[in-house]
Amino acid sequence: MADSKRISKIILAAVIAFFLISWIIKGLAIHDEDSVLWFSVRDAFLITLAAFLTLAIFSFLYKDNPYYKFAENLFVGVSAAYWMCVGFWSTIIGNMLPNLSESLSSTFGVPYKGFNIFYIVPLILGILLLMRLSSKAGWISRWALAWIVGTTAGLNLVRYLRTDFISQVSNTFVPLLVDWKGFGAFYSGLSLASTGQFVMTLSNWVIFIGVFSGLIYFFFSKEHKGFFGVASKVGIWVLMITFGASFGYTVMGRVSLLVGRLTYLFKDWLGLIS
Amino acid sequence: MKLKIVVVLTMLFMGVWAMASAQESLETIAAPDSIQAAPLPEPAKELSAKDAPDDHGHAIDVTWAKSPDDGERLKNVIGYIVYRAANPDGPFEARSGLLLGTTSYTDAGALNEGENDFMPDYQDYYYRVRAMTQDSTVFADSDIFGPVQSYGQWYDKGKTAVLLLVAGFLFLTIFFISKARGGAELYVRRLAGIEAVDEAIGRATEMGKPILYVLGLGTAADIATIASYTILGRVAKKVAEYQTGLIVPCYDPIVMTVAQETVRTAYLDAGRPDAFNQDMVYFVTNQQFAYVAGVNGVMLRERPATNLYMGKFYAESLILAETGVVAGSIQISGTDEISQIPFFVVACDYTLIGEELYAASAYLGKEPLLLGSLKAQDYAKAGVIILAVIGFISLMLGYHDFVDFFHVTG
Amino acid sequence: MSNIGLIISLIVIAIGLLWLFILSLRGKEVERRIIFLFIGLSVSVPLLFNITFSEKATPIVMDVFNKVENLPAGSKILLSYDYGPSMAPEVEPMSNAFLRHALAKGHRVYVMCLWATGQSLAATAIDSVVKKDFPDKVYGVDYINIGFKAGGTGVLNVIITDFRKMYLTDVDGRDLDSLPIFNGIRSLKDMDLLISIGGGYPGVKEWILFAGSQGNIPTAGGCAAVSAPLLYPYYPKQMVGLLGGIKGAAEYESQLKKVYKRFEKSPTPGIKMMGPQTLAHLIVMAFIVIGNISYFVSKRKRS
Amino acid sequence: MKRQLPLMLVFVFGFAMIIQYFIPHQASEWVNAFFMDWMMIIGVFALALGIWSLTKVSWDKVKYKKSNWQYAIVTLAGLFLMIFFGFDYFRHFSTPVGSNNYMYVKFYQHIVIPIQSTMFSLLAFFIASAAYRAFRARSLLATLLLIAALVIMLRFNPLLGPLQPIMEDFSVWLLNVPNLAAKRAIVIGVGLGMVATALKVILGIERAYLGKD
């Protein structure tokens, strides 16, 4: 126990020393005659800090460790505050205040739009929500919650139906025989070109059967037996092929992200590549 | 005098030459170098204008028939410009750019007074369409049409398909729920992912370890999150009965508030209000990856026996699920976010795919009322399949009205 | 020196994989940290040692290249930068390659944007490519940047008949008529090739529908990998060709290098990005194979 | 009052929003715009609750010296430093709305952004470990998953030689056709599930979230 504590202390010292040296070297590297010394020191610090945090997160891949814990907790705190400030400045000051109070608007330097009584409502609802902090009157906050849940449920019910559901249903109406001019023409013009009749017709059939069997798979009140059994099996096959394909396709994007991160380390921090 | 004659003669000559060349081919006319004065084209015909349907007002649809010289005869009309005035005598101002290959235009203005281009409702407007040639000084104006007024509608006819669907589905749901209330037995097939939830809670109790419930990155506005609350309610009730621990880190503060209320209710239902602690459900941060970092920390340090991911998830899904594997937890996930389902399928023990997430709350509750709505969903799916078959047949027969009905506008 | 490092690292990776392969034949599982290590290596080795794979241009990319190549010198090519910073890593290599190719061939290049965010990206790209590789090319004679105009497809509807209804000046406020490159240019129809880079809205699709097909002007595109499948249906009828994602960019760059010796030393970010991509894909596939072997071996052992 | 009124509010506003969707009139758009605005404003109040929750949980950790309590101090320090910088406005009345405090911006650029993109890039590692573990031909379904993934990944392989264009065409087809069909089936199912859930909430059948007492 005492040993492992000593080892982690040594590691800590080594890490601190390493990043201090890196800071100094970076500072020397970016400093030239024209730049102010303090700016070089500061910029070098920020680059080194970002590199340290990057490596601290990567160290999580080995195992959970104090450096990851440090980065994680710092990240949580800073980001929560960041969004709090953004919300306050852009929404409360930028959006609500100009509709409520002239004097406060001018204090914060936002153009006053005229008093609008409708902006009292969210203020009241917001205060109702804050009543949660009181143990006695906490139930009042449910009024605000009820408004939020009701509105969003109604809002999304129809909007989702329109944007996704109906457009997907209507797009399923595809001709199962593309440019059909009889079997003779079909055979003579047979080609594997992606815009050819054969591939288009085949694709439309796959789409039709895929959607059909996929929907059968999602039937809850029918036992998957007989016809339903076969159809739902085809459905889950199509789903699995799709999942595999999407997975394989995503690898590229994820590798690009890692390339971006390592480029930062190798180029911006260590200067190994140009 | 002589000069005048020369000019007139030249112009005459050019006019004749231009006319002759105009009839040769479209290419010569379309050529950019042809700057000769073209002969006057015929104006557009049958101009008409009416309030744009199914909208918020402040817009007028203008239609006209092609000028006879558009594509035929002189072939010198290349497009049209729509003009509008408040009086039949003018002044007319251009309301469109040069419109190509179309004979209709929606003249829309701003909605509110004081904005640029404000177009008040219930006011008379007069329209005129100008047929343009390659040479912007050679054009022909149509007759004036008017007066016409714009106004807003109270029902959008383009959304009838949605209305019918909502009404039909509402009817189905109420019908099956009242049937279920009447005591009818409704069969529901088993869903492995949901049966696993009960087992997983039992396992956590045996191991004396907590359960981690992640509501995802959805905001209070996502219906997937609403579905997740109800699952959380059922899980929390069981957890309270078994006296296992529960950890619910939240991404959205409103979701956190609702989740706290949900868990409190569940503990009350289980008869253990004393065991409820508000801090079981807490806020982490509403930044995607900071939230993930925090939840990862919880997984590796508290070592929950079971991780449940229910709701909306984005790129973080795989980070969460893989860390859960490292921590050795049983993992059950459910999301309607299609792009993330593959990662959950690959990394979790059980995954509720899409609609199964919405069915889960009904399953866990086993309440007839909720099962009734599942039955309604099934009938609606059967309806979609039938519609698709009808659509396919009607396309075969060349009858497009049926398909067009489902192309919702607006 | 770097070659030795490269060879050593590749040998290390190969031996490592071989060793894991042998272990898998005994039914052993690979620890996840070893997989992580291999992924880290597969991305950083190509980055550090600049490994590149020769990319052979596929027909859909080759068609774009040939179109640019076979136009007579002095042809007019319009490049539209329709993307923002988040898409830039994937598509910027394409726009740079197009710019290089067109200028090297002696074409006149007209740069514009349908995305507000494209304007500054276009300006920096022109600065970095033209000023460095083509110091003799003159702004306003060989190339021009007319910048961004709001309106999306509306802009296309107008400039297909008349540029000057939308654009009176270039991006720096110079009168178009004072710049020789715009002599005799009236509309998009005077262009010999339109190239849109960026797969969002408005993007390649809108250029095809509202400009290319409308005015019968050859149109080509470059887009992020995600949007490529949505554009394939337009090829080859309405679209000359398409560069899809970083792979399309890499193919174009290698073709460019093959034909033009002068670009041997030019940066090829597309090809560079493909090194880590290819190696990482190979590693992931290798691990899938290893996983299956150890699965079957241990299954047989048990039974 | 504690339970009936909220249920009524849900019902009334739920249906109001559904009806609002079918009315194109300006008045209806106006209601919608207001509601969206309100939601944003209430969201900020809720965020205050969130910050309170985060502070309380972290503070309790420090106070009761729970495990890893030292790191809770880091959270609190980050939180309050950033809030301090973000509200620094009160000392600089000249800055425009929003926080342009130098340290606030730098903290964001050099702490939030690098950690965020590094967390995101961890996916490159996890995608490999997940593929290794899960893509095994255990069953027919797992095999389909595995083959589809391999086919798509192979499109990148320069070693394939002349087979590569065919592989590419096939992977594009796979992404465009079966992929589209499956996604469509999921979307249609999800749509119905959403409507059913929303209806249950509006009708008051599903009310777990509203508390009981």
pLDDT of residue C108: 93
pTM (two decimals): 0.85
The contacts of residue C106 (CB under 8 Å, 6+ apart) are: C73, C74
8 A C-beta contact, residue B304 and residue B204: yes
Q: Which residues of A touch C33 (CB under 8 A)?
A: 61-62
What type of residue sits at position B86? A
Instruction: Summarize the confidence of residues C74-103 as an average pLDDT.
Output: 89
Residue C69 has pLDDT above 80, yes or no: yes
D213 or C78, which is more confident?
C78
Chains A and D form CB pairs within 8 A to the count of 390
Interface test with D, best of A41, A59, A82 (most D CBs within 10 A): A82
Question: Percent helix, strand, coil in chain B (nearest 5)?
Answer: 45, 20, 35
DSSP-derived secondary structure letter, A163: I
Q: Which residues of B touch D112 (CB under 8 A)?
A: 287, 290
| B341-390 residue pLDDT tens | 999 999 999 999 999 999 888 887 767 777 788 888 899 899 888 888 88
pLDDT of residue C198: 84
Residue A160 has pLDDT above 80, yes or no: no
8 A C-beta contact, residue B352 and residue B334: yes
Q: Is residue A206 exposed (0-12), middle (13-18) or buried (19+ Cβ within 10 Å)?
A: middle
C109 — pLDDT class (breaks 50, 70, 90): very high
**Neighbors of chain D by Cβ distance (3+ pairs < 8 Å):** A, B, C
pLDDT of residue B33: 47
8 A C-beta contact, residue B280 and residue B187: no
pLDDT of residue B29: 42
Residue D90 has pLDDT above 70, yes or no: no
Q: Which two tokens stand for residue D123?
A: 């996916």
Within 351-410 of B, beta carbons closer than 8 Å to A belong to: 353-356, 359, 374-375, 377-378, 381, 384-385, 387-388, 391-392, 394-396, 403, 406-408
What is the rounded distance in angstroms from the CA atom of residue D44 to the CA atom of residue A88? 7
Instruction: Summarize the confidence of residues A100-109 as an average pLDDT.
Output: 82
B41 or C110, which is more confident?
C110
Rank A173-177, A205-209, D90-94 by mean pLDDT and report only the highest.
A205-209
What is the rounded distance in angstroms from the CA atom of residue C245 to the CA atom of residue C82? 14
What type of residue sits at position C34? I
A192 — pLDDT class (breaks 50, 70, 90): low
pLDDT of residue D97: 41
Lowest mean pLDDT among A144-148, B23-27, C240-244, C288-292: B23-27
Residue D29 has pLDDT above 70, yes or no: yes
- Beta-carbon separation of C36 and D129 below 8 A: yes
- Residue reference for tokens 């003799």: C136
- With pLDDT > 90 as the criterion, what percentage of chain A qualifies? 37
A202 — pLDDT class (breaks 50, 70, 90): confident
| C142-198 residue pLDDT tens | 999 998 887 777 788 778 878 887 788 888 888 888 889 988 888 888 899 999 998
Is C43 within 8 Å of chain D by CB?
yes
3-state DSSP of B86-103? CCCCCCCEECCCCECCCC
Residue D183: CA atoms inside 13 Å, Cβ hemisphere, count? Answer: 21
Residue C34 has pLDDT above 90, yes or no: yes
Residue A3 has pLDDT above 80, yes or no: yes
Q: Among A62, A195, A273, whose Cβ lies nearest the Cβ of C47? A: A273
Residue B25 has pLDDT above 50, yes or no: no
SS3 C77: strand
- Beta-carbon separation of A195 and C237 below 8 A: yes
pLDDT of residue C166: 78
| D180-212 residue pLDDT tens | 889 889 988 998 898 888 998 898 888 777 766
Rank B362-376, C95-109, D150-164 by mean pLDDT and report only the highest.
C95-109
pLDDT of residue A194: 60
B100 or C112, which is more confident?
C112
What is the rounded distance in angstroms from the CA atom of residue D132 to the CA atom of residue D151? 16
3-state DSSP of B334-357? EECCHHHHHHHHHHCCEEEECHHH
Instruction: Summarize the confidence of residues C60-88 as an average pLDDT.
Output: 90
| B102-128 residue pLDDT tens | 788 888 887 777 767 788 888 899 999
B8 — pLDDT class (breaks 50, 70, 90): low
8 A C-beta contact, residue B376 and residue B180: no
Instruction: Summarize the confidence of residues D99-127 as an average pLDDT.
Output: 87
Q: Which two tokens stand for residue C11?
A: 């040998």
B214 — pLDDT class (breaks 50, 70, 90): very high
Residue D98 has pLDDT above 60, yes or no: no
Residue B1 has pLDDT above 80, yes or no: no
Other C-beta atoms closer than 10 Å to the C-beta of B332 total: 26
Average confidence score pLDDT of chain D: 85
Q: Which two tokens stand for residue C175?
A: 């009168």
Instruction: Summarize the confidence of residues B61-81 as an average pLDDT.
Output: 83
pLDDT of residue A163: 65
Strand partners, C243: C222
A182 — pLDDT class (breaks 50, 70, 90): low
Residue B47 has pLDDT above 60, yes or no: yes
A199 — pLDDT class (breaks 50, 70, 90): confident
Is D156 within 8 Å of chain C by CB?
yes
Residue B30 has pLDDT above 50, yes or no: no
B319 or C90, which is more confident?
B319
| A204-244 residue pLDDT tens | 889 889 999 999 999 988 888 889 999 999 999 999 999 99
Interface test with D, best of B336, B350, B374 (most D CBs within 10 A): B336
Within 69-128 of B, beta carbons closer than 8 Å to A belong to: none
- Beta-carbon separation of B101 and C154 below 8 A: no
Q: Which two tokens stand for residue B284?
A: 């982490």
> For residue B265, what is the enclosing H or E element?
helix B253-269
D93 — pLDDT class (breaks 50, 70, 90): very low
Q: Which residues of C touch B101 (CB under 8 A)?
A: 214
Q: Which two tokens stand for residue A158?
A: 């129809």
Handedness of CA B268, B272, B276, B281 (dihedral sign): negative
SS3 D122: helix
Q: Among D35, D108, D150, whose Cβ lies nearest the Cβ of A151? A: D35
Q: Which two tokens stand for residue D57?
A: 């949980």
| B142-179 residue pLDDT tens | 888 878 998 888 888 878 888 888 888 889 988 888 88
Strand partners, B310: B334
Q: Which residues of D touch C228 (CB under 8 A)?
A: 172
A34 — pLDDT class (breaks 50, 70, 90): confident
